[in-house]
Structure 1
Amino acid sequence: MKLAETNACTICHRDLRDDEIGRFACPFCVDLVDQRLRALAGPEGLYARLSAQLAPGAGNGGPAVSGSRTAPVPVRLEVLTLMTVGGPVLGPLETWVRDWETQGRADMCEAGTLQQRVDHAVGTLRFNLAWAAANHPAVDEFAREVHLMHRACERQITGERPARIVPVACPCGTVLRITLDTAGAQCVGCEARYGHAELMELPLAERRIAA
């Protein structure tokens, strides 16, 4: 077991309790990741529900309308991309399964339909989540990727517009571009790591006015 170098959760950056010292993630963050993984899988999960959003006009509250004389795209490409083998859902899920497989904690399975592969990957990752929280130093990266795929699927299903990007300033002067959904970020200037709450407390970056 590799102990964390700090006494704070690497996902939310809050201090760990005495009985949690040595872990990479606190129980609250582990539960949140588990909830998001669970929401992706199954016949009623977010991934399965994407198929109902493939038709142009689905999910945006109105019929498909084209102002050109060319035939419209038969499917919504952004939704189709989410459903592909190498897309931003199945791709990252199976990448993490492969990573955990090298550590003897998972079994990779690429058989069956895409839905079955998503379900298998989610089940495998959820089963080993407690182990990852205590032993995997990149569990914060895993949590961010799960958050991103969950939000991407959810937006397509609800028709929600992408969150507005807001520039905030790190104390070192580097501008970080975040949204209200950003789970965490690392400054490329000073390499400081921020959890969601800490990002929300950073001041807005001043706009530069062109001369």
Structure 2
Amino acid sequence: MHDNLDTYEWPVCRSCPRQLRQDELGRQACRCCQDRADEALRQLPGPDGLYAQLATRLTPGRGGDGPVVAVSRTPPLPLRLEPLSLMARGGVITVLQSWLIDWHELLGWRHPRWQGDLQQQLDDVVHRLRVNLEWAASSHPAFDAFLIELTTQVRQCERQITGERKERPIAVACPCGATLRITVSTPGVRCYGCSTQYARAEVFDLPLATRNAA
């Protein structure tokens, strides 16, 4: 019995390196990471949310490096491709809807249906994800990947709205030999070579990749 206790490792959250509390045992993610996901989701919907604000950043400012200028919701061409790609199919809405489909399939529910314009669909999918967030953080085996993808989308929206320059990527080396590209705000990453999931603190402990590998 004593030997078993010596080798026992207390379960940790799959989304961060924090050990699970007693009342969190059996969960995929701790409640702090669940709250992080909820906070990210709450930033997106509504007339004042990040998604709606992207429409005010579709036209360039004056000059290549000038400040972003707010415009009407139907701006003339040319359009800025970065916020447009986040707003269009394949952007934020598609990412969130793909996760909701995945959750429905795991729960054995009917395929979700989308109604309304893009803003209404965004608001709807965010609502549904938040309703089922407790289940996902407790039971979904890929909640860590969901949190990374969600926070990445939110961060990209914030950068387009504030005009913040894109973060410079950093190349780090996984022990398996793969080179991973991260930024200072990377919440975590999964290695494409060995499928190891690194939390934020862990990925910054990895050594820098050599110039040839990068």
The CA deviation at 1:63 is 7.7
Q: Report whether the alignment pairs 1:122 with 2:126.
A: yes
Deviations 1:77-97 (A, max 9, x none): 22111111x222000111122
Post-superposition CA distance 1:119-167 (Å, at most 9, x none): 0000110111011111111111111111111011111001111111111
**Aligned position for 1:131:** 135
The CA distance in 1 between the partners of 2:25 and 2:18, in whole Å, is 12
Residue 91 of structure 1 pairs with residue 109 of structure 2:
no
Distance 2:81 2:131 in 1: 32
1:96 aligned counterpart, secondary structure: helix
**More off after superposition, 134-143 vs 188-197:** 188-197
Cα distance in 2 for residues equivalent to 1:124 and 1:197: 30
1:24-68 Cα offsets, whole Å, 9 max, x none, are 01111110110010001111100000010011228953489xxxx
- Give the counterpart of 1:205 among 200, 206, 209: 209
> What is the CA–CA distance in structure 2 between the aligned matches of 1:114 and 1:134, rounded to whole Å?
30
Length, aligned pairs only: 196
Cα distance in 2, alignment partners of residues 13 and 100 from structure 1:
24
Deviations 1:87-109 (A, max 9, x none): 22000111122222231568724
Q: Is the CA contact (8 Å cut-off) linking 2:68 and 2:163 kept in structure 1?
A: no
* Root-mean-square deviation over aligned CA pairs: 2.5
1:176 corresponding residue in structure 2: 180
Alpha-carbon distance between aligned partners in 2 of 1:112 and 1:173, rounded to the nearest angstrom? 47
Identity percentage of aligned residues: 49
8 Å CA contact retained: 1:24, 1:133: yes
Q: What is the alpha-carbon distance in structure 1 between the residues aligned to residue 51 and residue 68 of structure 2?
A: 23
How far apart in 2 are the matches of 1:107 and 1:43? 27
Task: Output one character per residue of 1:159-199: Cα deviation in whole Å (capped at 9) or x when no partner.
Answer: 11111111112233332211112111122333322100111
Native 8 Å contact 2:12 2:18 kept in 1: yes
CA contact (8 A) 1:40 1:47 kept: yes
- Contact persistence 2:59–2:77 (CA under 8 A): no
* Separation in structure 2 between the aligned mates of residue 8 and residue 133 of structure 1, nearest angstrom: 13
Bigger mean CA offset, 49-58 vs 121-130:
49-58
CA distance in 2, matches of 1:63, 1:149: 20
The worse-fitting range, judged by mean Cα deviation, of 104-113 and 171-180 is 104-113
Equivalent residues of 2:50, 2:157 under 8 A apart? yes
Aligned to 1:19: 23
**1:46 lines up with 2:50 in the alignment:** yes
The 5 Å alignment of 1:180-199 reads 180-199=184-203
Cα distance change, pair 115–40 in 1 and its aligned pair in 2 (3 A): same
- Which residues of structure 2 form unaligned runs of 5+? 1-9, 70-75
- Name the aligned partner's letter for residue 99 of structure 2: W
| Range with bigger deviation, 12-21 or 116-125 | 12-21
Structure 1 pair 191–93 and aligned structure 2 pair: CA distance change class (3 A) = closer
The one-letter code sitting in structure 2 at the alignment partner of 1:99 is: D
Q: Which amino acid aligns with 2:164?
A: E
- TM-score computed with the length of structure 1 as normaliser: 0.84
Q: Tell me if the contact between 1:176 and 1:187 (Cα under 8 Å) persists in the aligned partners.
A: yes
Q: Aligned to 1:168, what secondary structure does the other structure show?
A: strand
